[in-house]
Structure 1
Amino acid sequence: MQSLDTATARRLRAGAQGIGGGVRAASAAAALDRAFAVQAQDQSAAALGLRVRATGLTAADVVHALETDRSMVRGWFMRGTLYLVPAADLRWLTGLLGPVFLKLSARRYRELGLDAAALARAEQVVTSALAAEGPLTRAELAERLAGAGLDPSGQVPFHVLRRSALLGQICHGPTRDKEPCFVLLDDWLPPGRTLDQADAAAELARRYLSAHGPAALEDFATWSGLPVTVARGAWRALIEGGEAVEYEVAGQPCLLPADRPPVAAPGEPDVRLLPAYDNYLVGYRTRALSVAASDERQVWPGGGQIRATVTADGLACATWSRKTGGRTVAVAAFQELSPEVRAGIAAEEADVMRFLGSNT
């Protein structure tokens, strides 16, 4: 097995994610297609996650892709959490991942008093309301659930809506007054391809590796949330099909797409301002290649937080935040930065402000 040094592996990962190697997409859809998935628990962070992977993107471009072109969609996918993914991939992703996270949610449903009859009633309320009234917010759907005798407070509406999405009935649609609305999936998106479990798992592994390689089986299993046996079978299929080549990275066997040269020549540092919870920082089981051990607490301060981070060629060198009501950017460097990295940060700061200003 050939080896890749950590600097080369990191540059290859940054290029695969579109946050290094000079790689920038020309549109929101192209940026997402390359990254495959962008963390979307926070909608503003998701938009910034597309910005950092593109050139000249505006906030209006992101809204247009979501609500007019409908080339991307927000929903519960990997690990059962919210992501932006290409809309064309929603149905096979839901078919693969939905049953996994529905099974894992069964105990929580019982804790909330949602037995089979209550869940069926809630499903009927949600789909009927959306069919009759069109896009509705979570609060509006909670009112409809209350009218059917279901608890509109606490976590019940969230779990009911998430369940309907995991069943492939509804999805996120337009935003109204800064509040996301839900819609019937079949009303919002055209039919898409469906795959059986083995083919879907292999496709997810293929797309993951393209956007994250070099990566290990453990990385893919952790990122996807698939059962380890399913993840392992999909990973093996890439090797057996000649689609991936194995390399050793930091003592661990990793795969790289067979058509990707295992070379990433250094040059001027490619500096990016990643948003909080960016997929580059949660897409692997360990943080060893992206964040130095001495700096981990700066990026992961605890409480589940992942701070907005400055990377240079894929290595975190600072965190950043918006100040003065979002009109400026403040950077907290981990150590002294080179003039080239400082210049890259300045250019990125200006682009963040340009992007955010396009939303006003």
Structure 2
Amino acid sequence: MTTTVRITWDAASARRARRQFLTGPATTGTPVAEVVGAMLGAHAQVFSAAELSVGMRTDAATRADVRAALWDERTLIKTYGPRGTVHLLPARELPLFSAALSAVPTGPSPFPPDVRLTEEQAGQVVTAIGDALDGRCLTLDELSEEVVARTGPWAGDRVMPAFQDLWPRWRQVMHRAGWAGALCFGPNRGRKATYTRPLPGGPGKATYTRPLPGGPEAGPGDALAAFVHRYLHTYGPATPQYFARWLAAPSGWATALFGELAAAGRIEEVLFEGTPAWVAAGDTDFPQGPPRGVRLLPYFDAYVIAGQPRERLFPGAAYERALGGGQAGNYPVLLVDGVVAGVWHQRRRGRRTTVTVEPLVRLTARQERELGEQVERAGEVLEATPELVVGEVTVGPHA
């Protein structure tokens, strides 16, 4: 008779922290792309937050190292990742992300019928984007002209509400072009972002100014199985609902996918705090938790976005203080022993930055020393001289 493995929250959070370089930072010489891969991507809508997410997981890397990996070494790529949001991804893993994310079903369109694209139109736009960007870097306006010329005037209709403005219709599927490997960010042209095509000809045939490391081509089923395995390795134990929330995917689809992988022996059921959950098959070795130590994590850090159950990660007062309307990532957070125990904010002025930290628990003398070390490390990452202020954070989310 098989005995179901029982896993506590402390053990799970200890393993998650260890596998993401939060228990011990990556040592000098560890490639930046390896750190990003361990997180399953760094959220990069606010690029300085991505620099901090990566740098705070290392003992020496700075924002310059992250930028060099992205623009010079080409070991990172900036594109649309999970949830259709901008991420840094390891370039060599882009074929896997592209195949897996393209296989995730999209939910109902949030736009009214006269605004949304049909699936046929969406496919035309994605193809047009890839063709327009093949071997070129274009600004958004230049890309828009190319897409309209290659599809039709309907693609350029300014009907899509966004930030007190109206965007052209085709931009509804910009993230899907990223998932398909037809689009990624290129180097800025002055103050304007540019876009280029990272995977001409499809996954495994990557060229991006200079060749990117490629990867074997995989079918959607193989890619999804590998993707779930990577997710469970980093964030397991997890339920299909946790996985669906991380991807902004339909819950029923995720439940069916986990059922198929379980039937094939690819994943294994465990009891996580008494609730059925899943890990990759055979991956049931967990440390004794909780993870010890103090960490500062920026906006939308991978650990807090994917960490579930959320009420365990944001215990007590942290659930109200550090979540914006129940959404993780709106505030930079203070982690104490693997759980959110405060918020913080940094305000930069020239070469100096003031880091205000609002703890929600009483810190021990050791934890106060570790907080000071984390602030110093944040200054190193941002290439600024930091000053620590312990007190109330008065700014709101996304400030």
- TM bucket by the smaller chain? 0.7 to 0.9
Partner Cα separation in structure 2 for residue 230 and residue 249 of structure 1? 22
Which one-letter code corresponds to 1:171 in the other structure?
C
1:318 is matched by which residue type in structure 2?
G
Which amino acid counterpart does residue 52 of structure 1 have in structure 2? M
2:186 is the alignment partner of 1:173: yes
Match of 2:197 in 1: 184
Displacement of 1:128 after TM fit?
5.3
Matched, 1:292 2:315: yes
Distance of 1:2 and 1:224 partners within structure 2: 26
Residue in structure 2 matching 1:306, options 312, 330, 355: 330
Aligned to 1:202: 225
Q: Deviations over 1:70-108 (max 9, x none)?
A: 22222223222222222222223222322546x447664
CA distance in 2, matches of 1:107, 1:331: 37
Q: Which secondary structure state, in structure 2, belongs to the residue aligned with residue 55 of structure 1?
A: coil
After superposition, the Cα gap between the structure-2 partners of 1:109 and 1:301, relative to the gap in structure 1 and judged at 3 Å, is closer
Q: Deviations over 1:34-53 (max 9, x none)?
A: 22222222222111111122
Query: Is 1:27–1:54's contact at 8 Å kept on the other side of the alignment?
Result: no
Which residue, 61, 65, 68 being the options, matches 2:69? 65
| Structure 1 counterpart of 2:357, one-letter code | V
Of residues 229-238 and 249-258 in structure 1, the stretch that sits farther from structure 2 once superposed is 229-238
Amino acid at match of 1:331: V
Q: Does 1:8 align with 2:11?
A: yes
CA deviation map 1:182-230 (0-9, x unaligned): 1022241464333222211111111011111233332222213444455
Q: Give 1:56 shift.
A: 0.4
Query: Corresponding residue for 2:397?
Result: none
Could you say what secondary structure the match of 1:327 adopts?
strand
* Residue 166 (structure 2) pairs with residue 154 (structure 1): yes
8 A contact 2:56–2:381 mirrored in 1: no
Distance 2:51 2:134 in 1: 29
Matched residue, 2:285: 261
2:13 and 2:289 in contact (8 A); partners too: no
CA distance in 2, matches of 1:154, 1:311: 39
Residue number in structure 2 paired with 1:217: 240
Question: Counterpart of 2:365 in structure 1: which amino acid?
Answer: P
1:274 aligns with 2:297: yes
Change (3 A) 1:255 1:116: closer
Q: CA deviation at 1:57?
A: 0.6
How far apart, CA to CA, are the structure 2 residues paired with 1:109 and 1:77?
A: 25
Per the TM alignment, residue 288 of structure 1 is displaced from its structure 2 partner at its CA by 2.4
Partner of 1:321: 345
Counterpart of 1:53 (choices 54, 57, 63) is 57
Compare relative contact order (CA 8 Å, sep 6+) and give the higher one, 1 or 2: 1
Amino acid corresponding to residue 317 of structure 2 in structure 1: S
Question: What percentage of residue pairs aligned between the two structures are identical?
Answer: 25
Amino acid at match of 1:30: E
Structure with greater proportional helix content: 1
Offset, 1:251 = 2.1
- Give the match for residue 332 of structure 1: 358
* 1:85-164 alignment, distance < 5 Å: 85-100=89-104, 103-104=106-107, 108=111, 110-112=113-115, 114=117, 126-127=129-130, 129-131=132-134, 134-142=136-144, 149=153, 150-151=156-157, 154-156=166-168, 158-164=171-177
Q: Evaluate the alpha carbon distance shift between residue 242 and residue 297 of structure 1 in structure 2; reply closer, same or farther with a 3 A threshold.
A: same
Report the more deviating stretch, 196-205 or 170-179.
170-179
Cα distance in 2 for partners of 1:263, 1:210 equals 14
Work out the CA distance in 2 between the residues paired with 1:195 and 1:226.
21
TM-score, normalization by structure 1: 0.84
Decide whether the 8 Å contact of 1:202 with 1:237 is kept in 2: no
Name structure 1 gaps, 5 residues minimum.
none
- 1:349 deviates by 0.5
In structure 1, the residue corresponding to 2:288 is in which secondary structure? coil
> Where in structure 2 are the equivalents of 1:36-51 lying within 5 Å?
36-51=40-55
Task: Report the CA distance shift for 1:217/1:164 in structure 2 as closer, same or farther (over 3 A).
Answer: closer
Partners of 2:112 and 2:336 in 1: how far apart? 44
Q: Which shows bigger deviation, 345-354 or 119-128?
A: 119-128
Range moving further from structure 2, 148-157 or 68-77: 148-157
Q: Which amino acid aligns with 1:174?
A: P
**Kept after mapping to 2: 8 A contact 1:277/1:306:** yes
- Summarize the Cα distance change of 1:111–1:280 in structure 2 as closer, same or farther, 3 Å threshold: farther
Q: Secondary structure at the match of 1:317?
A: strand
Count of matched residue pairs: 355
